[in-house]
Amino acid sequence: MLQDISLLVDTAARELLQRAQLEPGDILVVGCSTSEVLGQRIGSAGSIEVAEAILQPLMKISAEKEICLAIQCCEHLNRALVVERATLKHYHLEQVMVYPISHAGGSLAALAMDLFRDPVLVEEIQAQAGLDIGHTLIGMHLKPVAVPTRLSVTQIGEACLVAARTRPRLIGGRRAVYAKPGTKLPPDKK
């Protein structure tokens, strides 16, 4: 089961990074209820083993693609995020003081504190893409124009998987043009 979870997370993350066209230094936010992955009610049956099956492929892919990984804590820590100190510095984020544990922060965030090189917590972030495993509500940490992104993977274990990418805001009125005249906008990948 844990191998299956890792494979599904790997597939979903790679698909999202490709569809979102993330570049080195962009941020991928991930929220996860390991309880939901196990088919239990959110916050009721956290699992470090499931968290490891999820976090390992995410860390591998983010390192390969040079993407900043942000792991969202649960609502008991106001959905703060575990990030590398380098991400905090690069994006000029403000560090907050709390230490996630399985029952106050969630198993994935608690494990990120152990496995990240130099983990810190921040209260908010503006990510370019995100994975929400088990209805953890990551939307508050995405850039303002989030676009739902369908992936071939729709569940991780028993948990629903929702993915999103972001795009720049379209501004202007009736006379606004969004691409150089005579060219087409690239297709919107959903």
> For 63-114, what is each residue's pLDDT tens digit?
999 999 999 999 999 999 999 999 999 999 999 999 999 989 999 999 999 9
* pTM for the predicted model, two decimal places: 0.91
CB contact burial 14-44 (16+ within 10 A = b; e otherwise): ebbbebbebeeebbbbbbbbbbbbbebebbe
**10-69: pLDDT as tens digits:** 999 999 999 999 999 999 999 999 999 999 998 888 899 999 999 999 999 999 999 999
Q: Cα–chain-centroid distance for residue 79?
A: 12
Would you say residue 181 lies in a domain?
A: no
In a domain, 28, yes or no: yes
**Residue 171 lies inside a defined structural domain of this protein:** no
Whether 188 shows a pLDDT value over 60: the answer reads no
Q: How far apart are CA 81 and CA 182, in angstroms?
A: 43
* Total domains in the fold of the chain: 1
Residue numbers of the domain that contains 98: 2-166
| Residue 7 belongs to domain with CATH number | 3.40.50.10360
